[in-house]
Chain A
Amino acid sequence: MGEVTAVLGGGQSGFATSKFDALLGWARKYSLFQYPFVTACCGMEHMATAGARYDIERFGAGAPRFSPRQSDLLWVVGTITQKQAPALKRIYEQMTDPKYVIAFGTCASCGGFYDNYTTVPGIDKVIPVDVFIPGCPPRPEAVLDALILLQEKIQNGDRDPVVSAPRPVSPLVQIGLKPTDNT
């Protein structure tokens, strides 16, 4: 809890002082209740992130809520069509304040390679977004990076949209390379 401004002695039961905003941000960032709005293939990576190997619950964002009224973090995972946009906007409006939005993957961020009559070119045209995750799809590490970034933003009270920068890809992950290659 880096937000503690001073720890004062008081016998065995010491106490700490902090600013109220910092305390509130600290409480909020580790109790994110998510609403997964999963529409496309990115959902597979979202499930992988929620699964045991990557285990998003370590970061205090483990509980999906399937009612927007009980959730404060909206994951928009996948392509949003013009036909779906009113539903997405309504879900966002039904969520409780404070509410945060993550655009998961290239399609949710800008429409991806769908440039046509039926796709919304980025969900920020419809609802405000806090964090964009690039990738088609993003790897689970990128999703966790974005979640940590969002938690920093919540702690700092920062509501400007940001992009979660991807990590360099390990050679073992890249296509066609064998573990013996040194490139």
Chain B
Amino acid sequence: MSQLVLERLRARFGEKILQTSSFRGDDEAIVAPADWLEVATFLRDDPECAMNHFIDLTAVDYPEREPETPRFDLVLFVRSLVKKHRIRLKTRVREDQGVATLSQVWSGGDWTEREVYDMFGIKFDGHPDLRRILMYEEFKGYPLRKDYPINKTQPLVEYRDVGPSKLAPFGGDMGNPFGRIDWLQRLGGANRQVSPAIAVQQGQKKTLSSGTEEKN
């Protein structure tokens, strides 16, 4: 769909586009952090690309690939409402490395960059107001990093002494109608299926016809 955008990027930036890939209509280009702002501005301003819709900016943490490759993938999704194409732009940043803010290119970048900063601790140079947006200011660390301890909580209010945490005062299925349904008993001899996959496994008759069965 947006091979055109990749060709425009390669024609304009050449070696600065480190890598491109296309898979089932999703096209992706990877650039260096230093070229992040320039490429994004080009995507917006070039009349052939005309990326006027900022969809999302997020990050992915791959701590295992350090030190050869920086640990974070910064992922930008933009789209053109005029040209009806979209592209995914990535850059790879280290933990202590800043990247230029896109909030001056698309104003939607402002809060999404704050979210990425809040969750991953990636600094955005030139951001007008780089503070936490979801977590509270007292929160230490960045929760979506893979090295954030999975059980670590940082309560703002000291807990009352009411025994072990995370134990319900009632049974696990109490109050849940779904938990009390005996599916095996329900399916025994019943001419009804839960899902097409289970129906195939258990040799049940399909509830919905796919139109290709032989008529009895």
- A residues with a Cβ closer than 8 A to B are 82-83, 85-86, 89, 106, 109-111, 115-118, 120-122, 124-128, 132-136, 138-139, 142, 161, 163, 165-166, 169, 173-176, 183
Asked if residues A117 and B180 are in contact (CB atoms below 8 Å), the reply is no
The 3 closest A-B pairs by CB, nearest first: A134-B175, A135-B175, A110-B168
Given A85-B155, A118-B143, list of 8 further CB < 8 A pairs?
Answer: A82-B154, A106-B176, A122-B165, A122-B168, A124-B160, A138-B175, A142-B175, A183-B186
Bound CA–CA A122/B166 (angstroms): 7
Asked if residues B170 and A126 are in contact (CB atoms below 8 Å), the reply is no
Bound CA–CA A3/B148 (angstroms): 57
A-side contacts of B155, CB under 8 Å: 82, 85, 120, 125
Interface residues on B, range: 20 to 34
Asked if residues B156 and A110 are in contact (CB atoms below 8 Å), the reply is no
Q: Using known A-B contacts A85-B157, A125-B159, A175-B177, determine if residue A111 contacts B170 with beta carbons closer than 8 Å.
A: no
Query: A149 to nearest B CB, angstroms?
Result: 13
Asked if residues B135 and A83 are in contact (CB atoms below 8 Å), the reply is yes
Residue B185 lies at the interface, judged by CB distance under 8 Å to chain A: yes
- Number of A-B residue pairs having CB atoms within 8 Å of each other in the complex: 95
Q: Using known A-B contacts A124-B160, A175-B177, A175-B178, determine if residue A161 contacts B135 with beta carbons closer than 8 Å.
A: no
Contact of A125 among B148, B162, B178 (CB under 8 A): B162
Asked if residues B165 and A121 are in contact (CB atoms below 8 Å), the reply is yes
Asked if residues B170 and A134 are in contact (CB atoms below 8 Å), the reply is yes
Q: Using known A-B contacts A124-B162, A183-B185, determine if residue A82 contacts B153 with beta carbons closer than 8 Å.
A: yes
A-side contacts of B136, CB under 8 Å: 82-83
Asked if residues A173 and B177 are in contact (CB atoms below 8 Å), the reply is yes
Residue B84 lies at the interface, judged by CB distance under 8 Å to chain A: no
Residue of B nearest to A128 (CB): B160
B-side contacts of A136, CB under 8 Å: 175-176
